[in-house]
Amino acid sequence: MFKNIWLHPRTTFAGLLVGATTIAGVLSQQGVTLGHAGAGTGVALISGIAAALLGLLARDPAPASLPDLPSLKTPTVGVLALCMLLLMMPFVSGCSGVSVAQDIVNWTPALQSAVATVDSTAAILDPGAAPIFVAATLGFDAASNLLVSGAKAYLANPSASILAQLQTQIVTFQQQVNAALLSAAKIVNPASQQHALSVIQGVATIANAILAEVLSISSKAQAAALSAQAAVKVSMVARPETYGEAVAALSAHYAEPIPAAQQRVDRGYAVLLQAGF
């Protein structure tokens, strides 16, 4: 069917680059589990693709329909191709997982502040609301500390087993926070209820942001298993008035303008809903 196999979309220089990028994209989601295979596996894979590209560069003719393009045989293009492949290697070695773990650690000051605010809130609620609030938020300190410790453990040893622990830790924490929002909604005193929901929502914003990030480096099977543990869905506790608070929190954390933070919040909620949270 094809007069020249090198003009096949899957074997041209561009085709192989797209294929390599696709492989890197898949491995960026699964690459965090490559610890079992070892870094050598990723290097060998990239080396194989690089060898194929170099062979292609030596044989692939420049398409006649694109005369203005530089020849694909030039050393410059070959160097650029190898540079692109080298840039893909961090994804193969689980760099995305490390980035997410690092961002969890970066969230620590804001998370600790939000949890500390929760801890001090019971004292200013009405007597009937305080016991409900304390019972609902009792596990926040332990769960948040465990989450941060898990992220630090992953940074020290990016492995599939530690990632699995981190995934479970963030789901457990997020569910505790969601359950607390449901409980706080039962507080009768309007002022106390509003205050309780507000401070818990401050923790929920961070928990949801972190969960969305963790889901972004999880496979579909992993995401499905995690969502099966989620009894309290975001849709059950989300309130329109908290959207602005979430945007402001992410804008401050990532030092980005409000429109960019809005997009980040929207993407995060979309990830949660799509995954079944």
Angstrom distance (rounded) from CA 97 to CA 13 = 29
**Residue 273: band (very low, low, confident or very high) from pLDDT cuts 50, 70, 90:** very high
Instruction: Check whether 130 has a pLDDT greater than 60.
Output: yes
What is the torsion angle, in degrees rounded to the nearest 10, for the CA atoms of residue 40, residue 46, residue 51 and residue 53? Answer: 180
Angstrom distance (rounded) from CA 108 to CA 141 = 12
For the chain, percent helix, then strand, then coil, each to nearest 5?
Answer: 75, 0, 25
Angstrom distance (rounded) from CA 268 to CA 238 = 13
Q: What is the pLDDT of residues 54-71, one digit of tens each?
A: 344 344 444 444 334 333
Of residues 71 and 252, the one with the higher pLDDT is 252
Of residues 82 and 123, the one with the higher pLDDT is 123
The pLDDT of 236-254, averaged and rounded, is 91
The pLDDT of 79-93, averaged and rounded, is 35
39 near 91, Cβ under 8 Å?
no
243 near 233, Cβ under 8 Å?
no
What is the residue-averaged pLDDT of the chain? 75
Domains in the chain: boundaries: 5-92, 95-275
25 contact partners, CB below 8 Å, separation of at least 6: 91
What's the pLDDT score for residue 141?
96
What's the pLDDT score for residue 71?
35
Q: What is the pLDDT of residues 10-68, one digit of tens each?
A: 433 344 333 433 334 433 444 434 433 333 334 344 444 444 433 443 444 444 443 34
What's the pLDDT score for residue 5?
24
Q: What is the pLDDT of residues 101-129, one digit of tens each?
A: 999 999 999 999 999 999 999 999 999 99
Residue the block writes with tokens 């969960």: 211
Q: What is the pLDDT of residues 199-229, one digit of tens each?
A: 999 999 999 999 999 999 999 999 999 999 9
The pLDDT of 239-247, averaged and rounded, is 89
Angstrom distance (rounded) from CA 110 to CA 265 = 17
- Measured between alpha carbons, how far is residue 272 from residues 214, 216, 269 in Å? 10, 10, 5
CA angle, corner 244, sides to 243 and 246, nearest 5? Answer: 65
Token code pair at residue 144: 């948040």
What's the pLDDT score for residue 144?
96
- The residue type of 275 is A
What's the pLDDT score for residue 253?
94
Angstrom distance (rounded) from CA 19 to CA 260 = 30
pTM of the model: 0.66
Angstrom distance (rounded) from CA 13 to CA 58 = 10
Of residues 116 and 85, the one with the higher pLDDT is 116
**Residue 247: band (very low, low, confident or very high) from pLDDT cuts 50, 70, 90:** very high
166 near 150, Cβ under 8 Å?
yes
Share of the chain above pLDDT 70, in %: 66
